[in-house]
Amino acid sequence: MQVETHRTAPMNWAVGMTTAPRMNSTLSQSINNLKVAGWAQMRIFAEPGSSIPANISGETSVSLRDQTLGAFPNWYLGLTELYLDNPHADAYLICQDDIVMIRDTRQYLEECLWPATEIGVVSLYCPSHDHRDDASGFLKVKSGWNTWGALAYIFSNPGVREFLSDLIVLNHRHHGPHQGLRNIDSIVGSWCERRQLPYFVHVPTLTQHIGRSSTIWKNNTNEGRRKAIKYDPRLLLNEPESQNDSISE
């Protein structure tokens, strides 16, 4: 399951965003910010009752669920739709509806993806407890089921096919904790650990968590460990000097 670490042609992206009803909707802000980051075309995977912006552009399409699926099922189905609609895409970016991202992130990523020939997933969000002041660029983390932060994941083409067809991932809905409705980050982290594939975050974080309330954990806010540190929207992203210099263990 190898990918090219140095590309000579533009990357073909498939981009999606999951959304669900929340007290203070941030979907419109997240869509607009994702465009500033470089992705104008995307598909929204919306649970019933989600606040869909009235002025949504033609480049943003919507898959509106006819019944509430839950966080993991909506996310998994959304990722499956992205792949089936775009089976030859180079990269699959699936985000949540409460994020902001640094300007021109897409351009930066197209200069430095992929950080290794064997890829599990690249997370554009780095939770505070994974941040390291002595690291810069892509950082491997090995947290397994204890992985945090499914805000913005990028899968390679081989990676998304292997992930979606993984029997243990599929069985999470059947007999996972919380009826298999939650734990997206735990599922992705444990899949990487089990398949011995690297889980990368980026230091400093390229994405910040802006949702003031959780659609899953009702009493949680985005403070503390759920909020990234060292997020700077004014950060100017430059191409790493070399592939090896941009990866930390």
Parse the chain into domains and list their residue ranges: 13-248
| Mean pLDDT to the nearest integer, 179-190 | 93
Q: 52 and 18 in contact (C-beta within 8 Å)?
A: no
Q: What is the pLDDT of residue 242?
A: 39
pLDDT range class, residue 244, cuts 50, 70, 90: very low
The count of other CB atoms within 10 Å of the CB of residue 128 is 16
In tens, the pLDDT along 32-80 reads 999 999 999 999 999 999 999 888 877 899 999 999 999 999 999 999 9
- Given a cut of 80, whether residue 232 has pLDDT beyond it is no
Q: pLDDT confidence of 175, banded at 50, 70, 90?
A: confident
When comparing pLDDT for 105 and 220, which is higher?
A: 105
85/151 Cα distance (integer angstroms)? 22
pLDDT of residue 109: 95
> How is residue 141 written in tokens?
């983390």
Burial of 155 by CB count in 10 Å (0-12 exposed, 13-18 middle, 19+ buried)?
A: buried
Q: What per-residue confidence (pLDDT) applies to 235?
A: 63
pLDDT at residue 194 tops 70? yes
pLDDT at 178: 85
Q: What is the pTM of this model?
A: 0.88
| Top CATH class, 13-248 | alpha beta
Distance (Å, rounded) from C-alpha 144 to C-alpha 17? 24
Residue 177: pLDDT band (50, 70, 90) is confident
Summarised one tens digit per residue, pLDDT across range 92-148 is 999 999 999 999 999 999 999 999 999 999 999 988 777 767 677 899 999 889 898
The count of C-alpha atoms lying within 13 angstroms of the C-alpha of 199, restricted to the half-sphere facing its C-beta, is: 28
Looking at the predicted structure, is the pLDDT value of residue 240 above 90?
no
**Contact in structure between 185 and 150 (CB atoms under 8 Å):** yes
- How does residue 189 score in pLDDT terms, banded at 50, 70 and 90? very high
The confidence score (pLDDT) of residue 227 equals 62
**pLDDT tens digits along 17-36:** 999 998 888 999 999 999 99
Please report the pLDDT score of residue 225 as a whole number. Answer: 56
Compute the 3-state secondary structure of the chain and give helix, strand, coil in percent, each to the nearest 5.
30, 20, 50
